[in-house]
Amino acid sequence: MRETTFKLYDTRHDSIAPKGAVLFAGPLGLAVLAVSVVFIIFPGIDLAVTRLFADEDIFPLLENPVLKAVRDFNRAMPFFLLPLMIVAILAYALWPRRLSGIAAHKALYVMLSFAMGPGLFVQIGKTFIGRPRPTGIFEFGGAADFAPVWQFASICSRSCSFPSGEAALAAAAMSVLVFVPAAMRKSVGTVLALLFFFVAFNRVMFGAHFLSDVLVAWFGTLWVMAWLWNRIVSNADRIDDAVRRSGGPARRVIFGQARTDFD
């Protein structure tokens, strides 16, 4: 999709243009606000949704092998995806023309999405909010009081519920869409969004997080990613040029001075 008056895609980089990122950031920010307001006004929604998957103080789906495999895949994803991005940057430094589709700024964006979403955003929330998990409250066999979303409860000191780190991981995985050609990005993005949101919601079915934990983490991480992409793509040429220049000495040693097609 390309428009003449408003560029959603940057044709040089086959990427979402800066104004397109701003276009996405607005609704995502509103989604975080709307979810927060609804769950602050109606905190009982969290308990009601959690009860759907609880048998008194037991969450039967916690032992479902398929759902456990989904959880394990999500947890392992950064450990193979992030090294792959490092390899992509190194490969681009050696073959910048041949690998223009995996330009360095795209790989950097994926890495920073995981660092700023599941890393910074989630850890700040867990540290300062201190919300206990569903399995830790009285209603589901725990010893703590229920704390509504965004309440500075400080009830737990570690492994807190808000926001959901694994929901943020699933949302951060959407960053790989920058590698998908523009013509396919909408359809692929729809499929990935449904898949990864199921991965995120899996935590509610396990009794590990409340619905509000997942929704705020999901939309909040996507908002951070939209903000970040605006900065990355605005400096894409400078990032890519820096990586190309850094790979120059290696290209000359490996391929020889005559191999100018790599430059």
pLDDT band at 19 (very low <50, low <70, confident <90, very high): low
| Domain boundaries, given as residue ranges, for the chain | 14-248
Q: Render pLDDT for 95-132 as a digit per residue (tens, 0 to 9).
A: 888 888 889 999 999 999 999 999 999 999 998 999 99
Axis-axis angle for helices 165-172, 182-205 (nearest 10): 170
Q: How far is CA 189 from the centre of its chain?
A: 13
Question: Which of 162, 158, 157, 159 lies closest to 131 in space, CA to CA?
Answer: 162
Residue 9 pairs with which residues in a beta bridge?
16
205-233, pLDDT tens digit by residue? 999 999 999 999 999 999 999 999 999 98
8 falls in which pLDDT band (50, 70, 90)? very low
Average pLDDT score, the chain: 88
126 or 254, greater pLDDT: 126
Task: For Cα atoms 142, 220, 34, give the angle at the middle one, nearest 5 degrees.
Answer: 85
Both tokens of 117, joined, read 């979403």
**Residue 26 pLDDT greater than 80, yes or no:** yes
Please tell me the predicted confidence (pLDDT) of residue 20.
Answer: 52
Q: What share of the chain in percent tops pLDDT 70?
A: 88
Higher pLDDT, 259 or 119: 119
Residue 260's pLDDT band, with cuts at 50, 70 and 90, is very low
Question: Could you tell me how far CA 104 lies from the centroid of its own chain?
Answer: 19
The residue length of the chain stands at 263
186 class by beta-carbon count within 10 Å (0-12 exposed, 13-18 middle, 19+ buried):
exposed
Residue 178 has pLDDT above 80, yes or no: yes
CA nearest neighbour of 51 among 141, 165, 151, 149: 141
Distance CA 61, CA 59 (A): 6
How far is residue 224's CA from residue 142's CA, in Å, rounded to a whole number? 33
pLDDT > 90? residue 164: yes
pLDDT for 21: 58
The pLDDT tens digits for 28-85 are 999 999 999 999 999 999 999 999 999 988 999 999 999 999 999 999 999 999 999 9
Tell me what pLDDT residue 9 has: 42
**Residue 98 neighbours by CB distance under 10 Å:** 12
pLDDT band at 7 (very low <50, low <70, confident <90, very high): very low
Question: Is the distance from CB of 169 to CB of 218 less than 8 angstroms?
Answer: no
Banded pLDDT at 143 (limits 50, 70, 90) = very high
User: Cis bond leading into 181, ω under 30°?
Assistant: no
Q: Is the dihedral of CA 180, 241, 227, 220 positive or negative?
A: positive
The pLDDT score that the predictor gives to residue 159 is: 84
Question: CA neighbours within 13 Å on the CB side: how many for 255?
Answer: 15
Model confidence at 94: pLDDT above 80: yes
